[in-house]
Amino acid sequence: MRERSPTAAPATDLVWTVPNLLSAARMVLSIVFFVLVEREDFAAATVLFLLAATTDWVDGWYARRFNQVSRLGRILDPLVDKVLVCGAFIFLAARGGTSILPWMAVVVVVRELIVTAVRAEMERVGRDFSAGMAGKLKMVLQCAAVAVELGRLGFSWLFNGVDAVGMATGLAWAAVILTAYSGAEYVVKAWPVLTGRDVPSDRK
């Protein structure tokens, strides 16, 4: 890895990094994706969703590999993830006739709001609150549920001989169950801080 010059900005202060640009691009893709779903162009929406979801993995890998983890990235990356996934659940639930039901969208959105609030408090008092395995896996299942639902609507010929509805329904339920579980896991982890039992004396 190339050494940084003495005048280079610390990695945590960088703004115009490749990972941050990818996150910004994912936000734009998310907006276009919502328009495509609203217009019921599910084939294009499927491709765009998969592209946006892929950039999420790429920007995280790139940030770690090339030491471009930044304060902005720590805020922007999860924010855009929430916009994409929560928006996808909301739009598909609102459409009706899909495996993603309105109450499932509510669970996903409420979980993200709770975890965001808890993370803010944990970081305020200097506690680590990085994503656990359940949190990472729920993101995978959420994306899989959305992708299969979009795919069966936009590329039905790919599912010949396959119970696409059953597959989409199973993934949606698995995603929602793990979403609720991971949210509860985060709250339990943060409970000592949230109740004031484990806060540094200088932070109280």
Q: In this predicted structure, what is the pLDDT of residue 57?
A: 85
For residues 121 and 155, what is the distance between their CA atoms, to the nearest angstrom? 43
Q: Closest Cα to residue 26, out of 109, 83, 111, 89?
A: 83
Q: In this predicted structure, what is the pLDDT of residue 6?
A: 37
For residues 82 and 63, what is the distance between their CA atoms, to the nearest angstrom? 19
Give domain limits for the chain. 11-195
Q: In this predicted structure, what is the pLDDT of residue 5?
A: 38
The residues near 49 (Cβ < 8 Å, ≥ 6 apart) are 33, 84, 88, 143, 146, 147, 150
Q: In this predicted structure, what is the pLDDT of residue 136?
A: 84
Q: What tokens were used for 61?
A: 């890998």
For residues 54 and 28, what is the distance between their CA atoms, to the nearest angstrom? 14
Alpha-carbon Rg of the chain, whole angstroms? 19
Q: Closest Cα to residue 176, out of 92, 68, 73, 54?
A: 92
Q: In this predicted structure, what is the pLDDT of residue 80?
A: 92
Q: In this predicted structure, what is the pLDDT of residue 199?
A: 57
Reported in sequence order, the residue ranges of the chain that DSSP labels E, i.e. its strands, are none
Write the pLDDT tens digit of every residue in 36-53: 999 999 999 999 999 999
Q: What tokens were used for 159?
A: 């599912």
Q: In this predicted structure, what is the pLDDT of residue 8?
A: 37
**For the chain, how many residues are written?**
204
Q: Which CATH architecture has domain 11-195?
A: Up-down Bundle (1.20)
| Series of mean pLDDT values for 10-residue runs along the chain (204 residues) | 39 74 92 96 96 87 80 82 95 92 96 90 75 84 95 90 92 96 91 75 49
Q: In this predicted structure, what is the pLDDT of residue 200?
A: 55
Q: In this predicted structure, what is the pLDDT of residue 175?
A: 96
Q: What is the DSSP letter of 39?
A: T
Q: What tokens were used for 120?
A: 């803010």
